[in-house]
Structure formats: C-alpha cells, structure tokens
C-alpha cells in the first residue's frame, strides 16, 4: 500500500505568525473591553479563584505629575484569606 501524504504537504496551513485582523480593529476591541463591565467581572472571578490581579487607579500623590495613574497589584491569596476571616455565619435562633 502507498503511504499517504503527511505534515504540511496536505495543503496550505497557516503557521499562525500573522494576524488576519487589522491592527486598528484589534486596538478598538481592546479599548472597548478595558472600559466594559466584563473586565470588572473577570477580575472579581479571578480574585475568587485566588489569582492575582492588577488595578489601575489615580495616583494619590498629586505632586507626581508625570504619573497620573498607578497600577496596584492585589494578591488573590490574601483576598481569599481576608474573605475567610470575614465570613459571617448566622446562628439558629431557638
């Protein structure tokens, strides 16, 4: 029996090194996502899973005019520990 063709010789197969979506469309989609509520929900989901997140906030030090915003890292592990300690359990009233 003849051996069949294998590998990349079975037609044109993309190597995945170039995007087929224009750069302006990708930038616009990212900008929309960063301003959407889905991003906040995804960050909350990541915290509940114990993953670290980064939140961008206004710089409280107004004298640093070259840094209007700063990135604040929030540890998922410390968030979970905090939530475990602050959990309230209602006791049954008898």
State pTM to two decimals: 0.60
User: Mean of the per-residue pLDDT values for the chain?
Assistant: 84
pLDDT of res. 80: 86
Closest CA to 58 of 67, 66, 47, 45: 67
pLDDT of 26 over the 90 cut: yes
Residue 53 forms part of a structural domain: yes
Residue 93 forms part of a structural domain: no
Q: Number of structural domains, the chain?
A: 1
Residue 51 forms part of a structural domain: yes
Residue 92 forms part of a structural domain: no
Residues in Cβ contact with 60 at an 8 Å cutoff, skipping those fewer than 6 apart: none
Q: What is the per-residue burial (b if ≥16 Cβ within 10 Å, else e) of 21-32?
A: eeeeeeeeeeee
Domain with 78, as residue range(s), is: 21-85
Higher-pLDDT residue of 10, 24? 24
For residue 40, what pLDDT band results from cuts at 50, 70 and 90? Answer: very high
Residue 33 forms part of a structural domain: yes
The two three-digit tokens of residue 53, written as one number:
């997140």
């Amino acid at each position: 029996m003849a051996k069949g063709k294998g590998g990349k010789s079975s037609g044109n197969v993309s190597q995945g090194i170039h995007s087929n979506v224009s750069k302006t469309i990708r930038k616009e989609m990212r900008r929309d996502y960063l301003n959407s509520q889905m991003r906040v929900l995804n960050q909350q989901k990541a915290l509940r899973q114990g993953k670290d997140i980064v939140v961008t906030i206004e710089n409280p030090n107004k004298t640093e005019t070259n840094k209007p915003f700063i990135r604040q890292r929030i540890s998922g592990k410390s968030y979970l520990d905090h939530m475990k300690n602050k959990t309230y359990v209602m006791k049954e009233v008898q």
